[in-house]
Amino acid sequence: MPPAPTPTVWTIKALLAWTTDFLKAKNVDGAKLEAEILLAHVLNCTRMDLFVRFDDQPTDAERSKYRELIQRRVAGWPAAYLVGSREFYLLTFEVDPAVLIPRSDTETLVGEAFKRLKPMTAPAVLDLGTGSGCIAVSLAHQKKDARVTAVDVSPDALEVATRNATKHGVADRVTLLQGDLFAPLAPGSAFDMVVSNPPYIAQSEFAELSAEVRDHEPRLALDGGPDGLAFYRRIAAGIGPFLKPNGSLLLEIGWKQEDAVRSILADRPELELGPTLKDMGKNPRVVTAKKK
């Protein structure tokens, strides 16, 4: 593909058009959206504002900052880390390299969880491996009387989750605990629902990941052990005492893991398997179960 001609006047419209073509030539997925996200960040406006301001001419300093971000994006840095945030389930979450970037696929889990929580009164929810807090905070924001306990082994991730809970006004109902899965929970704790998007990439699959995921997102949040199923086994083995009778378990999975994860849960006599939910791409995404 020949390079796009250089405009004589760098309006917002011209900048976006040239940058989109440049990112496409560099094989960056979603080039148009990425160009818009980065420019909106530089100009401190929304993406929608860009289209109203198509004829505006950013300053030399703004163009220089934009050029720097584009260079880092082409070098493999995810756009969410470059701008420090990602939209998820109607909210904007702060992210940095200490946490996994929220994906739209995970909204499948949040939507199903909210549907189940909606008729309950003051439900108690546990989020294992909360990362940025996107699941825990979204549920507390949607279900105004829910009390959510969110656990993560990473203190750096919990700092990000704390800021997100505060930003969205739910810090009084989201308790953040540092530790490994169930370890930091008080004896006798029991929940109406347990949710998790655990690490589920098999160690043998890391070489196949895109460079931006493999080189920039935290391995701690990705590494699911030799076969990618280590955390499902541990959650299934430990959940019994912490889930109330008829309480729900919702686990996000990799799209090839449905049969394996269902088998792990089916082996637990205290659990009753529920349906597997598909994401917007029609891939298996959330395995569900209930405490008998």
Q: Annotated binding site: which residue ranges?
A: 129-133, 152, 197-200
Residues 6+ apart with CB under 8 A from 144: none
* pLDDT in the model for residue 211: 82
Q: Annotated binding site for S-adenosyl-L-methionine: which residue ranges?
A: 129-133, 152, 197
* pLDDT in the model for residue 7: 66
Task: Give the residue-averaged pLDDT of 276-283.
Answer: 95
Q: What is the pLDDT of residues 128-184, one digit of tens each?
A: 999 999 999 999 999 999 999 999 999 999 999 999 999 999 999 999 999 999 999
Q: What is the pLDDT of residues 73-110, one digit of tens each?
A: 999 999 999 999 999 998 999 999 999 999 999 999 99
* pLDDT in the model for residue 229: 97
For 73, phi then psi, to 5°, come to -65, -45
Residue ranges covered by each domain of the chain: 12-75, 97-291
Cα separation, 256 vs 278, in Å, equals 12
* pLDDT in the model for residue 4: 58
* pLDDT in the model for residue 201: 92
Higher per-residue confidence, 223 vs 141: 141
Task: Give the residue-averaged pLDDT of 41-52.
Answer: 93
Q: What is the pLDDT of residues 256-266, one digit of tens each?
A: 999 999 999 99
* pLDDT in the model for residue 5: 62
CATH of domain 97-291: 3.40.50.150
What pTM does this model have?
0.90
| Residue 8 pLDDT class (50, 70, 90 cuts) | confident
* pLDDT in the model for residue 3: 54
Mean pLDDT, all residues of the chain: 94
Task: Give the residue-averaged pLDDT of 236-241.
Answer: 96
The yes-or-no verdict on residue 253 having pLDDT over 90 is yes
For 51, phi then psi, to 5°, come to -75, -25
Q: Annotated binding site for substrate: which residue ranges?
A: 197-200
